[in-house]
Amino acid sequence: MASGLITVVFVVYTLLLFLISFVTGRKATDDAYYRGNHRSPWFVVAYGMVGASLSGVTFMSVPGNVLKENFYYLPMVFGFIAGYVVVAKVLLPIYYRMNLTSIYGYLDERFGMKSYKSGATYFLLSRGLGATLRMFLVVSVLHGFVFSHMGIPFWLAALIFILLILGYTFKGGIRTIVWTDTLQTTFMLVSVFLSIGCIAHAMGWTFADMVREVKESPMSQIWDTDPMSPRFYVKQFLSGLFVTVSMTGLDQDMMQKNLSCRNLKDAQKNMFTFSGILLVMNFLFLVLGALLGLYAQEKGLSVADTDQLFPTIAINCLPPLAGLTFIIGVLSAAYSSADGALTAVTTSFTIDILGVERRGLPEDRRKKIRYRTHLVMAVVFLMLIVMFNWLKNDSVINMVYDIASYTYGPLLGLFAVGICTRWKVKDRWVPWIVILSPILSFALVRFCKWAFGYSFGFELLLLNALLTFLGLLLIRDRKAGRKRNDTHVAKF
């Protein structure tokens, strides 16, 4: 596939995002940037959040992973759905009752400033590393197929990508992202359907043939029944549930979109609709993975890295339409996850760490601080992307994914104590608890592998949360009393 055609697609797609930014960013206030003036239509948010949830990594990794792990990811997706119910029924009512801009303001009201800062810091660390890793993988694809042919070094390609995201999110913030996510989800859906169609056509299959081949393939196995396996279906389901509660319900990026809805009822409708669409999309990704695997077997293709299965076949083996479809899908996934992450970390750092709302600053002063923070975060993202490229070590990349379990786990533990109990804790000790919990988890994971041969999967998140929960129990402040505050504690 010609790099010139990919370049044209990249430019046209980016111009569409800037057009949306221009329309939505006019006369943007702080409230528009942070919460979209509470005017975002729920169905637009629901549809757009699909693109935000499915990153460029998901776009390449989930189909490729079918080669070695079949459809074992699907029970985890079922857990996602259960998790979205918890988010809609437990967390969103609390956030709306408290009228939060940053969801970590809950920890300040519930426990105190140290807990608040600890939660916000863990989010910034988690989202910063996760988002930049996703950007790195996508920039690597773009650099390999576009920028390298133009003589542009990797660092400059990364800079271009960051500047483009910075440009269309700078003024409009969440109000812009709600609408750009809609465009990006549409292109991603079209990309998946066209990719499936291209592979079926290349194999000479009708729709019925395709369904039969996928169904009869060993890759379509859903249930891993080995309790010792990291993909054991019970662990997958429970992990999906708690991963969703942590990485959606306790994530400023995802919740900021929900808090831009007109009211709680609309936000809940958004979550239920979004979860249904996401279930279908993940199933289509798995079907696509099975088709890619069958095509590779038929043609005798092999790849060292399963993440490269989709781009290798789409760009090098199938007609140009397939390669074009893949590039559009990757761009959609990359932009959707990157722009939301940049806006969310800007919001969290400005509100939670710098405290612009608590300090009662005038709006023009708050806006200047927000602009500067947005720029600084963009520079940090760029530096991390370049660092990942410099390291070029798969073990380091896998470690970053593990870090998400170590950083979201303490957040889950903090919110679980706050929402499910009436405890008061000694706030000054909370930072020590959330630091020690991941350290103990790391030691336990290594011990279980050595002593029992047990490999932790996504349940590592639960281990971190449990240790944080137990640590908070140890620093419980019994003298503070047990008076219940219905604003802060869930109504079960």
- Asked if residue 359 is part of any domain, the answer here is yes
Say which DSSP state 352 is in. I
Cβ contact 320:1 at 8 Å = yes
3 state SS of 362: coil
The secondary element (H helix, E strand) that includes residue 447 is helix 430-452
- The label of the residue with tokens 């757009």 reads 48
- What's the predicted TM-score (pTM) here? 0.78
pLDDT score, position 431: 94
- With a pLDDT cut of 90, the percent of the chain lying above it is 18
Closest by alpha carbon to 433, among 478, 406, 471?
471
222-236 pLDDT, tens digit per residue, is: 988 888 777 888 888
Mean pLDDT, the chain, rounded, equals 80
Residue 356: which CATH number? 1.20.1730.10
Identity of the residue numbered 326: F
Cβ contact 145:327 at 8 Å = yes
Q: pLDDT band at residue 414, thresholds of 50, 70 and 90?
A: very high
3 state SS of 41: coil
Q: Determine the Cα angle at 90 with ends 85 and 463, to 5°.
A: 80
Counts of helices then strands in the chain (DSSP H, E): 20, 0
- Asked if residue 485 is part of any domain, the answer here is no
- Asked if residue 179 is part of any domain, the answer here is yes
pLDDT score, position 183: 73
| 41 vs 179: CA distance, rounded Å | 10
Closest by alpha carbon to 128, among 407, 459, 411?
407
- Asked if residue 164 is part of any domain, the answer here is yes
pLDDT score, position 18: 73
Range of 80's domain?
3-393
pLDDT score, position 378: 87
Cβ contact 369:87 at 8 Å = no
- Asked if residue 246 is part of any domain, the answer here is yes
| 452 vs 450: CA distance, rounded Å | 6
- Asked if residue 72 is part of any domain, the answer here is yes
Cβ contact 455:449 at 8 Å = yes
CB burial of residue 99 (10 Å; 0-12, 13-18, 19+): exposed
- Asked if residue 403 is part of any domain, the answer here is no
177-203 pLDDT, tens digit per residue, is: 667 777 777 777 888 888 888 888 888
133-144 pLDDT, tens digit per residue, is: 777 877 877 777
The tokens of 159 are what?
């800079």
Residue 212 has pLDDT above 70, yes or no: yes
- Mean pLDDT for 315-330 is 77
The tokens of 472 are what?
């908070």
| 417 vs 328: CA distance, rounded Å | 43
Q: How many domains does the chain have?
A: 1
3 state SS of 440: helix
The tokens of 475 are what?
């620093």
Residue 484 has pLDDT above 70, yes or no: no
- Asked if residue 384 is part of any domain, the answer here is yes
56-111 pLDDT, tens digit per residue, is: 566 777 888 888 888 988 998 999 999 999 999 999 999 988 888 788 889 998 99
- 3-state DSSP helix/strand/coil percent for the chain, to nearest 5? 80, 0, 20
The tokens of 434 are what?
């959330």
| 339 vs 322: CA distance, rounded Å | 26
